[in-house]
Amino acid sequence: MLKIEHLNKKFGKKEVLKDVSLTLSPGQRIHIIGKNGSGKSTIFKIITGILKQNDGTVEIGTDDVIGAVIENPGFLEYESSLENLKFLAELNHDYDEKLVKELMEEFSLDPEDSQPVSRYSIGMRQKLGIIQAIMENQNIVLLDEPTRGIDKEGIETFVKILGQLKEQKRAVIIASHDDISNLVYDRELKLKDGVLVEEK
């Protein structure tokens, strides 16, 4: 479904990714751990086409759909949370309001809350970011520091939702600089000095 081979990325003379290869299969949950600035977001940006690699290939199956949270998710700041999710889903004509409302409620967000997203806290925005990455049945989900700003209860919900994604055979790559409590991975990789290596 996703195959990355021999990826190389430079910013000027700085080599951020060196010969990075990775294969993701249905239902698999992979953790990429790395310090700030190690290149985790850069990998996701290349997979999603935001950035172009200098070398190497990214293969994505024709039926695969990517959902992603990369850095700070952007929203229509003056619209409500539900309007934002509706707008994002309608871009692909795949808006399932029942599911969106269920996900919001699971994350203790009120779908009827009319306040603009500009007033949302970092954790609330992050929850919306996670929802938009999974609300259209995306089968490859890329999450960059997904629990940033999220409270303990929200993290428990997040872990529970990830369990559901696994049952649905949807694959997830999580990039973070530390561990997320109670989250077990199929593979743990470390990005250090541009090289992706097996952590255990």
Ligand X SMILES: Nc1ncnc2c1ncn2[C@@H]1O[C@H](COP(=O)(O)OP(=O)(O)OP(=O)(O)O)[C@@H](O)[C@H]1O
H/E run at residue 143? strand 140-144
Q: Please give the structure tokens belonging to residue 109.
A: 């967000």
Q: Tokens 């309007």 belong to which residue? A: 83
Task: Report the nearest approach of ligand X to the CB of residue 113 (Å).
Answer: 29
H/E run at residue 164? helix 152-167
Cβ proximity to ligand X, 71 vs 97, nearer residue: 71
Cβ proximity to ligand X, 169 vs 177, nearer residue: 177
Helix (H, G, I), strand (E, B) or coil at 44: helix
Task: Report the nearest approach of ligand X to the CB of residue 131 (Å).
Answer: 21
Per-position b or e across 179-198, b if 16+ CB within 10 A of its CB: ebeebebebbbbbeebebee
Task: Report the nearest approach of ligand X to the CB of residue 111 (Å).
Answer: 30
Cβ proximity to ligand X, 41 vs 84, nearer residue: 41
Task: Report the nearest approach of ligand X to the CB of residue 120 (Å).
Answer: 20
Task: Report the nearest approach of ligand X to the CB of residue 189 (Å).
Answer: 13
Closest of 2, 7, 88 to residue 43, by C-alpha: 7
For residue 137, the tally of other CB atoms under 10 A from its CB is 13
Q: Could you give the CA distance from residue 167 to residue 69 in angstroms, rounded to a whole number?
A: 21
What is the contact surface with ligand X in residues (CB under 6 A)? 11, 16, 34, 36-42, 177
Give 54's Cβ-side CA count (13 Å radius).
13
Cβ proximity to ligand X, 17 vs 134, nearer residue: 17
Cβ proximity to ligand X, 37 vs 49, nearer residue: 37
Cβ proximity to ligand X, 29 vs 45, nearer residue: 45
Chain centroid to CA 199: 20
Task: Report the nearest approach of ligand X to the CB of residue 106 (Å).
Answer: 26
